[in-house]
Amino acid sequence: MGLNNIMQIHARAGLAVAALLLSSALPVSANEIAVGDTMLTYEDAGSGPVVLFLHGAVSDLRVWSGIRDRVAEQHRFVAYDQRYFGPAEWPDEGAKFSVATHAEDLAAVIDALDAGPVHLVTWSYGGLVGLQAAMRHRDKFRSITHFEPTVSSLHVGLPGERAAIVQKFTSFGAMAEALQAGEEEDAVRRLIEAVFRLEPGEAETHSDLAQQMWDDNARTLSPFLEAVAAVEPIDCDGLAGIEVPTLVMQGSDAYVLDAMMADEVVRCQPKAIGAVLEGTNHGGPVQDPAAFVDAVLSFIQSTDNP
């Protein structure tokens, strides 16, 4: 699929949110790497230019399992658990849980693997981390692909913002109630349902591996919400300095607020283009992984062969 086709990606059969969590047929090495004062788990498969995948909230590197083999056919696939995410024991009580920490960890992982500049692929909260890292370490990235990056400072003051906030966050009440009651594992599932527009209770129907990933990351929900609320705002002037070829994807059924943030990243970055993944919402990378990876690999090819 050529670059001209990226802008309108046709939908394939809709897949469940957990469909990406599949076993791999290719050899995969699971390793630990020293980053600052902690050790991070990462997976490495294939060879060639590095495509580094950065997960979002309440998840970890397992969320990319279903596309790993496809990427590793022509590239070196790398994914890692961001600090405090995944099943590993925390190095502390979460004192360093912040966007800034995760951004610096991203740069340190690239250095530790001697992998830069990399093709970075992010999703949701990973996009916020990736943007922070790119503003500080532009030379570490060959290209960047974001799927619906969560950058709340970018929608402030936009026309229709209030209605967009109401549309999205009306469905988050069950998550807030569970979290307030101290039921973290239940809160994560209610968050998944709100974000991916699932029916109440539908999260419990997904794969055992998805359930395990959500359980392992339930402890990150409160510090994640606090970190996002405390992050230094990103504005258009800051994004304008990221002169890295960037693809920003959004689902055709995205929340209006998520679409606003994606559109603003495209508007503010000088080398950014937008694309729509048809028939998906914020869960696009797992709802249609084939179309998602098609777009990622096509964009990477276009940056390697301009």
Residue 251 carries which DSSP code? E
How much is the pLDDT for 6?
32
CA nearest to 269, candidates 283, 248, 298, 249: 248
Domain membership of residue 210 (yes or no) is no
Q: Yes or no: say if 66 and 289 are a contact pair by the CB < 8 Å rule.
A: yes
- Return the H-helix or E-strand segment holding 87: none
Longest dimension (CA), the chain: 53
Domain membership of residue 199 (yes or no) is no
Which is higher by pLDDT, 28 or 288?
288
Q: If DSSP codes are grouped into helix, strand and coil, which group holds residue 50?
A: strand
Which is higher by pLDDT, 27 or 236?
236
Domain membership of residue 227 (yes or no) is no
Domain membership of residue 222 (yes or no) is no
How much is the pLDDT for 116?
81
Which pLDDT band holds residue 305 (cuts at 50, 70, 90)? confident
Range of the domain at 103: 3-158+232-304
CATH number at residue 21: 3.40.50.1820
Half-sphere exposure of 213 (CA within 13 A, CB side): 24
- The count of domains in the chain is 1
Domain membership of residue 168 (yes or no) is no
The 10s digit of each residue's pLDDT in 235-267 is 999 999 999 999 999 999 999 999 999 999 999
pTM of the predicted structure, to 2 decimals: 0.91
Angle 125-136/99-112 helices, nearest 10 degrees?
A: 70
CA distance 163 to 145: 28
Domain membership of residue 180 (yes or no) is no
Q: Is the pLDDT assigned to residue 69 strictly greater than 60? A: yes
Domain membership of residue 42 (yes or no) is yes
Domain membership of residue 203 (yes or no) is no
The 10s digit of each residue's pLDDT in 97-138 is 999 999 999 999 999 999 889 999 999 999 999 999 999 999
CA nearest to 304, candidates 118, 73, 137: 118
Nearest 5°: phi and psi at 42? -140, 160
